[in-house]
Structure 1
Amino acid sequence: MEDKNSIESPSVFQPISGDDTGITEISSMCPNPRCQEEGTTRLLLVEIPFFREVIVSSFSCPHCFCSNSEVQPAGIIQEKGCRHTLKVVKNKDLNRQVVTSESATVQIAEVDLEIPGNTRKGTLSTIEGIITRTVEGLQQEQPIRKALYPEDSEKIENFIEKLNTLLKNPSFTLVIDDPAGNSFVENVNAPSDDPNLKLEFYKRTLEQNKMLGLVADDATEVPDNTIQLPETTEELNLNEEVMHFPTNCSSCNAINKTKMKVVKIPYFKEVIIMATDCEKCGHKTNEVKTAGGFEPKGKRITLQVKCIEDLSRDILKSTTCGLQIPELDLETQSLACSGKFTTVEGMIQDLREMIVTSNPFGKGDSAKTGKIVNVAERLDNYAAGNENFTLILDDPGNCSFVQNIYHPEVDPRLTEEEYERTDEQNEDLGLKDMKVENY
């Protein structure tokens, strides 16, 4: 459903680790009420690897030396909120890049620290920077507190000491909860999974939608954005028709039309393919969802890719499916990307494009860069059929599929194994909160 001959629109966003060649400078009045002279605001559109685009702004005044900085998401509020949970266990973790939007709440349970959302501007910083700015903010009014409220001042001094201890001996859990879905914590193992970082997506509550301005203050329920389909199947044959419904572009927010079609995969099940092509900015998205509910058990599919024919196999990767290539020690996270219906070769090319075009924050570090270059070269060999490898799809929802080219005979290079889901996997799939018996 995607036109391969179309020309992609050039991006105005700079890689976060690239040269600052896209900085725009404008003159603006100093916010300091005692100054109000003319200063300079610098704007930079930045593309954060494995995340999205943000706008970084910085102001400086040459007269009173007032300065500030701010980060704003360049896109729209996301469909779901996100919660990043990071176990900080070593000094290197303090250098992880972090994006916090205005709506994000920052928590460190070990010291009872909570910075609520909508109390500060969005920032692009590090974990050390978040703690350091918190300490500086608490120290600003300490001389006045010490003179007027000595007991409160002493308590704050003790709390500041706890925060400084975290920087000296890091061993704590950082939680960033953003209802807008526009916050981010660096994965230092990208594109592989990070064992110390957990990313969850959730549906916003009515109060969170009110806070973000998505519903009126007097609203009593979250609006239902479900597409209304015909009440009877006589009105529309979903297996033959391509449906169109209005949506907003995830890149420029322009009004678009998303195409949707139900497709039957032989020897598997029906899937829903959705594709959007923005005429304004050229941004394209496509997504595949399996029709029907989750299976009683999860499934792990292992394919030994040993010849060119294996690269041509059809493959369906659902949104709940994780992908692994043991030979590269490569693992992608489930529940964090859209579903895709392609071939084995197409999946490898997608992985290669993600790694090469979206370098992680460590770009410039010889060790990290060398690892990424090696992975990209190996993936090129895999896609060309020059090297054998193992592809593993681990899907707790059991909605993924790899074509058996020997059907109905047994495929010697393809194995499928069902397993009982863990409580955590059922929680991620939303099954623990769903009534599935005697409904």
Structure 2
Amino acid sequence: MSVIAQPHVRGGSVFKDLSADDEDWQPTEIESLCMNCFQNGTTRLLLTKVPFFKEIIVSSFSCDHCKWSNTEIQSAGRIQEQGVCYTLRVTSKRDLNREVVKMDSATTRIPELDFEIPPFTQKGALTTVEGLLDRAVAGLEQDQAARQEADPEVAGKIHTFLQKLKKLKDVEEAFTVVIEDPSGNSFVENPRAPQKDESLTVSWFRRSVQQEKQLGLRADDEPEDEPPPGDDLDTMRSEVLVFNTNCPECNAPASTNMKLVQIPHFKEAIIMATNCEACGHRTNEVKSGGATEEKGTRITLRITAVSDMTRDLLKSETCSVFIPELDFELGMAALCGKFTTVEGLLTDIKDLVVAKNPFLCGDSSDLSRAQKLQEFGNKIDGIIAGKTQVHLVLDDPAGNSYLENVYAPEADPEMKVETYERTFEQNEELGLNDMKTENYQEDSEKRD
């Protein structure tokens, strides 16, 4: 195995932004064995970045002897803190063209056909919904000839199922595609961005012990009921803790500083900041330092002046953001927890929806969609400049978000804070439905 070409490195990172206009983008070519004819072929590796999907490695193999070829995609980024589940209701052929990033750790289901592709049975792919169906059909048809000879009855049943699977592409009836990925690195396109997609539901979940073992986050022989090590809160309150990590931009060794702080008129929060000396990238994230509140909190601010942009704001990782005048909704896990200002949150929203959108350039670009997103970015700029009055809604079912009251301790006439009872679905997302906190010792003794 010999390397023919090396990737060009910029800014200390081998992962470059995905672009169809970069002529200097050279893949890595490796001479490797063809598993079809056992002659030597060529594997091309492309190391790139896709926003919403972190770093990826796209590999393409071709053999000049037997003309066999194969492509696949692998994640080169880190595993996310939570798993993600995309539920797409396919109602038209246009939905078949949605871009899909499916990792090899993802489970794909079509409930209407009682069909499931288990994790780690397919390689990761950057494809479309139609591509997922074609890939499933190709996998089932692969051994049909051998099945026909060994067990004609089973082959007949699979043939009947294949016809149903192929017929889905006609979209004569609506059907559902579910992609559940414990690594959190899969993605399904929202063509209506930045507006909410009524056909697409995105939810985040905590990985099970078995899923953590499959991802290599937990040793196979590690006991499932081992309690996590406790933290000395007194030490965290008085000191800045430092631990080693990798830069999320260039993956170079870096240090993360962590501090437990008290927010006035609110509660404690954990602020983490990372500064990479190799590439200069900086990032910060906030985690709630308190428990989940008994009720959810909804904070509504009417932005009337530029001075509202300086209000301190704590958005937890469980908080959703709404701007009703723009028909905009940002899910709870789309942005990490942040301790910033109203202006900082709006700027992050603009960067996420417009600047870092992977489908505004290259072969996937659509002129009307790009124009619509650019208009959305201009509206955000108008809000920041004080030209447009809107309502900013922070909806946190865990009750751990905060927005500064500049009139404190008096009531703020432009801000309304409401508490509400969580729904069963919200408790399920927070992992509260299965949490036993009362009479635990008595129930444990009864089971024993």
- Say whether 1:155 aligns with 2:153: no
Structure 2 unpaired stretches of 5+: 1-9, 441-448
Partner of residue 420, structure 1 = 421
CA contact (8 A) 1:32 1:66 kept: no
**Structure 1 residues 30 and 243, CA gap change in structure 2 (3 angstroms):** closer
Letter in 2 for 1:349: T
* TM-aligned CA distance change 1:16 to 1:224, over 3 Å: farther
Write the distance in 1 (CA, Å) between the matches of 2:119 and 2:251.
24
Query: Which residue of structure 1 lines up, in the alignment, with residue 267 of structure 2?
Result: 269
Instruction: Confirm or deny: 8 A CA contact 1:206 1:222 kept in the other structure.
Output: no
* Partner SS state of residue 430, structure 1: coil
Match of 1:340 in 2: 338
CA RMSD of aligned residues (A): 2.6
Deviation at 1:376, TM superposition (A): 0.9
Deviation of 1:168 (Å): 0.8
Specify the code of the residue in structure 2 equivalent to 1:397: A
Distance 1:265 1:212 in 2: 36
Q: 1:420 & 1:396 partners in 2: Cα distance?
A: 8
The CA distance in 2 between the partners of 1:60 and 1:263, in whole Å, is 56
Kept after mapping to 1: 8 A contact 2:314/2:401: yes
Matched residues in 1 for 2:220 and 2:262: separation?
44
> What SS class does the counterpart of residue 208 from structure 1 fall into?
helix
- Whole-angstrom distance in 2 between the partners of 1:321 and 1:246: 28
Question: What's the counterpart of residue 314 of structure 1?
Answer: 312
CA distance in 1, matches of 2:27, 2:325: 44
Query: Aligned pair 1:207/2:205, yes or no?
Result: no
- Summarize deviations over 1:71-107 as a string: whole Å, max 9, x none: 0101133333333222222211111122222222221
Mean Cα deviation higher: 201-210 or 306-315: 201-210
| 1:208-223 equivalences in 2 (<5 Å) | 208-221=211-224
How far apart are the structure 2 equivalents of 1:281 and 1:375? 31
Shift of 1:12: 5.1
Residue of 168, 177, 188 corresponding to 1:166 = 168
AA matched with 1:291: G
Looking at structure 2, the residues matched to 47 and 224 of structure 1 have their Cα atoms a distance apart, in angstroms, of 36
For 2:283, the aligned partner's letter is T
Alignment of 1:45-60 (within 5 A): 45-60=47-62
Percent identity between matched residues is: 49
1:411 to 1:217, Cα distance in 2 relative to 1, 3 A = closer
Once residues 410 and 36 of structure 2 are traced to their aligned partners in structure 1, the CA distance between those partners, rounded to angstroms, is 79
Q: Structure 1 residues 362, 157: CA separation in 2 closer, same or farther (over 3 Å shift)?
A: farther
TM-score, normalised to structure 1's length? 0.88
For 2:244 and 2:105, how far apart are their aligned partners in 1?
Answer: 27
Matched, 1:361 2:362: no
TM-aligned CA distance change 1:284 to 1:417, over 3 Å? same
Q: Read off the aligned partner of 2:159 and give its amino acid letter.
A: E
Q: What is the Cα deviation at residue 415 of structure 1?
A: 1.4
Aligned residue identity for 2:96? L
Confirm or deny that 1:118 pairs with 2:116.
no
Aligned to 2:329: 331
CA distance in 1, matches of 2:355, 2:12: 13
The aligned counterpart of 2:84 is 82
Question: Aligned partners of 2:379 and 2:71: how far apart in 1?
Answer: 41
Q: Which residue in 2 is equivalent to 1:241?
A: 239
Separation in structure 1 between the aligned mates of residue 21 and residue 143 of structure 2, nearest angstrom? 38
Q: Does structure 2 conserve the Cα–Cα contact (< 8 Å) formed by 1:100 and 1:122?
A: yes
- CA drift of 1:19 comes to 3.2
What amino acid is aligned across from residue 200 of structure 1 in structure 2? S
Question: Equivalent residue for 2:292?
Answer: 294
* Whole-Å separation in 1 of the counterparts to 2:89 and 2:225: 33
2:384 matched to 1:386? no
User: What residue in structure 2 maps to residue 400 of structure 1?
Assistant: 401
Q: CA deviation at 1:377?
A: 1.0
Q: Which of residues 71, 81, 94 in structure 2 aligns to 1:69?
A: 71
- Give the 3 Å change call, closer, same or farther, for CA 209–345 of structure 1 in structure 2: closer
1:61 offset after TM fit, Å?
Answer: 2.4
In the alignment, the residues of structure 2 paired with residue 205 and residue 354 of structure 1 have an alpha-carbon distance, to the nearest angstrom, of 29
CA distance in 1, matches of 2:340, 2:188: 30
Shift of 1:187: 2.5
